[in-house]
Amino acid sequence: MRTCHDCSQTESTGKEGQDMAAAARVVIVGSGIIGASTALACQDLGAEVTILDQGPLGGLASANSFGWINASFAETQAYFELRQEAVEAFRTLGQRLELQAHVIWPGTLWWEDAGQDFEAQFASLTLRGYAALRLDRDEIAAREPNLRECPDHALFTPMEGAAQAQSVAQTLLAHVGKRGGRLCAEQAVHALRPSAGGGYIVQTSTGDLPCDFVILATGAAAHRGLTGLGWTLPMANKRGMIVQTKPVQTRIHHILMTPDVHFRQNPDGSLVAGEIFSGDLDRSGDVPALAETVIARIRQKLRGQPDVQLAEVKLGERPVPLDGLPVVGAVPGAPRIFMAVMHSGVTLGPLVGQLLAEEILHGRSSPLLSSFRPARFV
Ligand SMILES: Cc1cc2nc3c(=O)[nH]c(=O)nc-3n(C[C@H](O)[C@H](O)[C@H](O)COP(=O)(O)OP(=O)(O)OC[C@H]3O[C@@H](n4cnc5c(N)ncnc54)[C@H](O)[C@@H]3O)c2cc1C
C-alpha cells in the first residue's frame, strides 16, 4: 500500500482543467466508507486517486456504526429505490473484494413495533416490492432457537446484511493503495483554491496538492466547510452509541431489531448492539449505565441468559444532512467540487461511490441521485 506522509506536490503538471477521464487527478477528502468507496470507484474508471484524512484511515462514523445494510426504512420512494439498489451494490462489491470477514448477509428479523405500526411497515415494504416475509412465532423460533422468548410476529427481510464499516473502508483503501492510489492519513485539508485551467489546489496540513476534481466525503464534519468553498451544508448530526461485547458462544443467526435493543453477531461471536434510543443520544447521559442496560437487554433475550460481557462502548456522530436525506453531487457554485454526505452511509457507500465516479469521470448522472443533490439547500 502506498501511503504518503507529505502531500505537497506544488509543481503544476499542466493537467489542471483538461477534459480528461483516464488520467483525471481526483482528491478525496475523508477516508470513511464513503471516501473509500468513491476512491475505489474513481480508480476503477482510470482516475489517479489521492485520499486524505485528518485522522487515521477508515473514518469516524464508519468506525462507530451499527452497520446495518438495508432498504427497510426510507421516507420517500426515491430514497427507497436508492437504498434498494445500494444493498445490491454492496453485495456485488463484497463478492468482488471478498469482504466476508467484515460483512454478513443473514437477513433481518424485525419486531421493533407491534400492532398497527407493524402492519403498516409490512404493508409499505410489500407495496414497494421489497423482499419481506411475515413470520409467526414458530417460524421465528425455528430460525432463532437461542431466543428465550419469540414475538408473535416478525418481519424477515432476507436480502439485508451488516458490515464492520471501518474494516470495509480499510480493505477498500488497501485495494486502492495496491493499485497506486495515494493514501494520506493525519493530513487535514484546510482550504481549496482554484488553479489556472479549472482545477484546484488542495491545501493540506503538509502542503499543497493540485488536482482536477475534489470530492468531499467528510461525514459529520461537512457542515464546517472549508476555506475557499463558499458554501456549507446545513446539518443536524446526531450522536449514537454502539456496544460491542466479547465473543459469546450462543449463536444468533439474523440481525435482530427488537423493541428494546438492536443486535447482531460478528463472525468471531462478538455481539454488536445499537442503542434503541434513537434520535440524538443525550450528551450529558450516563454512558456506562446505558451500555450496561443494553447488555442486560441482550442477555435477557437469549436462552440460558449467557454471560454477555462488554468489550467496548463506541460513541459516534451520525452525519445527518438537515432534511435527513443523503447529499450527493456538485457543490453549488463550485465547479469540479463534489460532496457525498449522508446517514446510512454504510448501506449507501458502495453505490454512491460508483454513481459519483460515473458522474464526475464519464459525465453520466444517475436518475437515482436526482432527489439528493446539494443544490436543494441553496
Ligand atoms: C451509532 C451509529 C450507528 C449507525 N448505524 C448505521 C447503520 O446501521 N446503517 C448505516 O447504513 N449507517 C449507519 N450509521 C451511519 C454511517 O455509519 C455513516 O453514514 C457512515 O459511516 C458515514 O461515512 P463517511 O465516510 O461519510 O464518514 P466518516 O466515517 O465519519 O468519515 C469521514 C472522514 O472525514 C475525515 N475528515 C473530516 N474533515 C476532514 C478534513 N477537513 N480534512 C481531512 N479529513 C477530514 C474524518 O477524519 C473522517 O475520517 C450509523 C452511525 C452511527 C454513528
Interval 127-131 mean pLDDT: 97
Dihedral (Cα; 216, 222, 224, 225), 10-degree rounding: 30
> Residue 4 pLDDT more than 70?
no
Ligand 1, atom 13: nearest CA belongs to which residue? 344
Looking at residue 345, what is its pLDDT? 98
> Residue 113 pLDDT more than 80?
yes
What are the DSSP calls for 100-139, one per residue? TTTEE---EEE-SS-HHHHHHHHHHHHHTT---EEEEHHH
Report how far ligand 1's centroid is from the alpha carbon of 30 (Å). Answer: 9
Dihedrals phi, psi of 35, to nearest 5 degrees? -60, -45
> Residue 19 pLDDT more than 50?
no
Report how far ligand 1's centroid is from the alpha carbon of 375 (Å). Answer: 22
Question: What domains can be seen in the chain, in order of their start residue?
Answer: 1-104+160-236+321-378 (3.50.50.60), 108-158+238-318 (3.30.9.10)
Residue 264: enclosing H or E segment and its boundaries? strand 262-265
C-alpha 78/C-alpha 249 separation (Å) is 41
Residue 239 · residue 316 · CB < 8 Å:
yes
Q: Is 215 in the pocket of ligand 1 (CB under 6 A)?
A: no
Tell me: the pLDDT tens digits for 133-175? 999 999 999 999 999 999 999 999 999 999 999 999 999 999 9
21-35, 246-260, 279-293: which has the minimum mean pLDDT? 279-293
Cell of 308: 454477555
C-alpha 241/C-alpha 277 separation (Å) is 9
Q: Is 353 in the pocket of ligand 1 (CB under 6 A)?
A: no
Tell me: the pLDDT tens digits for 31-86? 999 999 999 999 999 999 999 999 999 999 999 999 999 999 999 999 999 999 99
CA separation (Å) from 347 to 202, 261, 291, 306? 29, 20, 25, 31
Ligand 1, atom 4: nearest CA belongs to which residue? 65
Report how far ligand 1's centroid is from the alpha carbon of 242 (Å). Answer: 14
Looking at residue 10, what is its pLDDT? 39
Q: Which amino acid is at 310?
A: L
Question: Mean pLDDT score of the chain, rounded to an integer?
Answer: 92
Report how far ligand 1's centroid is from the alpha carbon of 342 (Å). Answer: 8
Q: Is 125 in the pocket of ligand 1 (CB under 6 A)?
A: no
pLDDT bucket at 286, cuts 50 / 70 / 90: confident
Q: Is 343 in the pocket of ligand 1 (CB under 6 A)?
A: yes
% of the chain with per-residue pLDDT over 90: 87
Is residue 37 classed as helix, strand or coil in its secondary structure?
helix
Report how far ligand 1's centroid is from the alpha carbon of 220 (Å). Answer: 6
pLDDT bucket at 267, cuts 50 / 70 / 90: confident
Cell numbers 450529558 correspond to what residue?
284
pLDDT bucket at 230, cuts 50 / 70 / 90: confident
Report how far ligand 1's centroid is from the alpha carbon of 26 (Å). Answer: 20
